[in-house]
Amino acid sequence: MMLGYFLTLFLITTVLMGWLLWPFFSTLFLSAVVTGVFNPLYRLLARRMRRQFASLITCLVIFFVLFIPIVMFVGILSREAYGFYLMGKNAALTDIVKNFFEHSRLLERANDLLAHFDLELSSIELNRAISQLGKVVGLFLYQQASAIASNVVNFVIYFFFMLMIVYFLLIDGHKLISFLINLSPLPREQDEKLIAKFQDIAGAILIGNGLGGLIQGVLGGFVFYLFGFSSPFLWGVLMSLLAFLPILGIGLVFIPAAAYLFISQRIGAGIFLVVFYIVLSGSIEYIFKPKLVGHRLQLHTLLVFLSIVGGLKAFGILGIIYGPVIVTAFLTLTDIYHTNYQKLVEPEDGDPA
């Protein structure tokens, strides 16, 4: 009787606690991720000074590394993304595509190949599809950027709120982890496995994919600027996001751009763009990321792709982080189930069902 009464009260207070914290879920989640990434710096500083000062300095580093760059490029991104959206919405992008096909035989060659399958592509259909894609991409990036630009006060408040949480998590995060482990009904080693996986995936996403995407976006946008492509900043940001996707990545931007240069008779520029893409993408994927994060992100390539695309669709830009974390948590729990609990719910061989 008393146990049932206690569990009822505990469940009610847990639900109410979740209800109180739910508006801050994104901030709390990002704070935990950022804390995990910058915790090595904090530990290094904490060996030489008091923990409070070490945490304060770490938060100052986070401010200069994250806040200032975001504020600097949000305005530019918003302007260029909206311009790209208008190009797709109006006739500008359609005219570019139309002129592209008129001055090349690409569509004609494609239809010669498709004729064997009784298929045919028309320039009108391609114009409509590419213009629609331009609208979707431009509008998505514009909405993400303008959400910050139009709510600067809210963004500043939430960012400093996140820094405050990070400050205390750096100092007392180990106490919080111990509290959660002691509260959990799972064995300690299973809780520690879940927490370790969370830290690994956070590090792999922000340190590996984040830095890798930033490098590819900056260098790719600079090359686009050199070759005279419009909205190089927008393309750079888009490449930074696409760099999170395995296999395809920045090739979704570089390959069409190189094809455009080839068809425009800019052969040298097209060859340079292809070589630059191969070198940049290969060095990041096969040298930079493995050395930086090792094998933290041990997910199948298809699962990484689906988790990021699904995360973007469900949560917006933060889905780049949420998606892989959710998939990793599910796979970790699945592994724990197979190791510890499957034999408890399934009859052993030879036992009656």
Whether residue 256 is predicted with pLDDT greater than 50 in this model: the reply is yes
- As a whole number of angstroms, the distance between CA 176 and CA 161 comes to 18
Give the residue among 177, 212, 345 at the shortest CA–CA distance from 287: 212
310 close to 323: Cβ distance less than 8 angstroms: yes
Smallest CA-to-CA distance from 314 within 305, 323, 326 is with 323
Poorest-pLDDT segment among 13-22, 122-131, 200-209: 122-131
Q: In the numeric block, which tokens belong to residue 311? A: 């995360």
- Taking a C-beta distance cutoff of 8 angstroms, is the pair 162, 27 a contact? yes
Q: Is 228 left (phi over 0), alpha (psi -120 to 50) or beta?
A: left
- What is the rounded distance in angstroms from the CA atom of residue 343 to the CA atom of residue 199? 29
Between CA 63 and CA 72, with CA 66 as vertex, the angle to 5 degrees is 105
Residue 281 has pLDDT above 90, yes or no: no
244 DSSP assignment: T
DSSP designation for 105 = S
Single-letter code of the amino acid located at 300: H
Give the count of alpha carbons within 13 A of 307, CB side only.
23
- Find the range with the poorest average confidence among 97-106, 185-194, 330-339: 97-106
The 3-state DSSP composition of the chain as helix, strand, coil percent (nearest 5) reads: 85, 0, 15
Q: SS3 for 230?
A: coil
Question: Tokens 């189930």 belong to which residue?
Answer: 337
In this predicted model, what pLDDT tens digit does every residue of 164-216 receive, in sequence order? 999 999 999 888 888 888 888 878 888 887 877 777 777 677 677 778 888 89
**pLDDT at res. 90:** 53
CB 111 within 8 A of CB 47: no
Please say if the pLDDT value at position 100 is more than 70.
no
Per the listing, tokens 């879920």 go with 25
Q: Which sequence spans correspond to the domains of the chain?
A: 28-174, 184-341
The dihedral sign for the CA sequence 240, 242, 248, 252: negative
Instruction: Considering only residues 239 and 92, tell me which one the structure prediction assigns the higher pLDDT.
Output: 239
Q: Taking the complete model, does pTM exceed 0.85, yes or no?
A: no
Better-scored residue on pLDDT, 121 or 288: 288
User: pLDDT-based confidence at 92, cuts 50/70/90?
Assistant: very low
The answer to whether 160 touches 96, Cβ cutoff 8 Å, is no
